[in-house]
Amino acid sequence: MKLMTHRLGALLLTLLAGPAPLSVAAAHAAPAAAPQPHDATKISAFLAGFYGHHGPSDYDRENKVSQLLKDRQRERADADVLLCSQNEPRDIAIGPVTVAPAAAVGWATVTTHWESGTTDTFTAYVRLDSQPIRLDDVICAG
C-alpha cells in the first residue's frame, strides 16, 4: 500500500505543478529565420510584374508601393508618379537590376516606349528588406 500511496502522491504533485516544461530541444531551438533580403532576380521579376507592358494596375498601385509614393501621387494629380508621365505607354522594359546591400536598396532603369516612337527612362527603387516586396521610390530622369 505504501508504494501505491507514493505513486499517487507523485502524480498529484506533478498535476499541481502545472504544465510540463519545454523539452531541452524546444527550449534551445533557433529563433525563426528572418526573411532574406530581396536579390536582383526577385527585384527584376517584381518590377516586370508590377509595370507589365502598360503600367501598374490599380491593385498594385494601392498594395505594392510605399507610403512615400502614395503621398507623392496625391500631391501630383496631373501626372503619374509611378510612370513619370501623363499617359499610358505603348510598352515598358525593365533594365538590369543593381543591388547595394550596404544601402539596403536595389534599382533598375525602366524604359517607357510611346506611340510617337520616343522613349523615356526613370529609375525604380525597391528596399531589400520590404515585406512584402514593394516599390519604394521612383526618380524621373529630367
DSSP 84-110: TBSS--SEEEEEEEEEEGGGTEEEEEE
User: Cα–Cα distance between 93 and 113 in angstroms, integer?
Assistant: 8
What's the pTM value of the predicted model, to 2 decimals?
0.76
Tell whether the model's pLDDT for residue 142 goes beyond 70. Answer: no
Identify residue 5 by its one-letter amino acid code.
Answer: T
Q: Could you tell me which residues are beta bridge partners of residue 93?
A: 111
Contact status, residue 124 vs residue 133, Cβ threshold 8 Å: no
Average pLDDT, the chain: 85
pLDDT score, position 112:
97
pLDDT tens, position by position, 81-116: 999 999 999 999 999 999 999 999 999 999 999 999
| Nearest to 138, CA basis, from 54, 111, 126 | 126
Which CATH number describes the domain made up of 40-140?
A: 3.10.450.50
Helix count and strand count (H, E) for the chain = 5, 4
pLDDT tens, position by position, 21-54: 544 454 455 566 777 899 999 999 999 999 999 9
Q: Could you tell me which residues are beta bridge partners of residue 4?
A: none
Residue with cell 533580403: 37
pLDDT score, position 68:
96
Three-point CA angle 20, 25, 31, nearest 5°: 105
Maximum C-alpha span of the chain: 100
Contact status, residue 131 vs residue 35, Cβ threshold 8 Å: yes
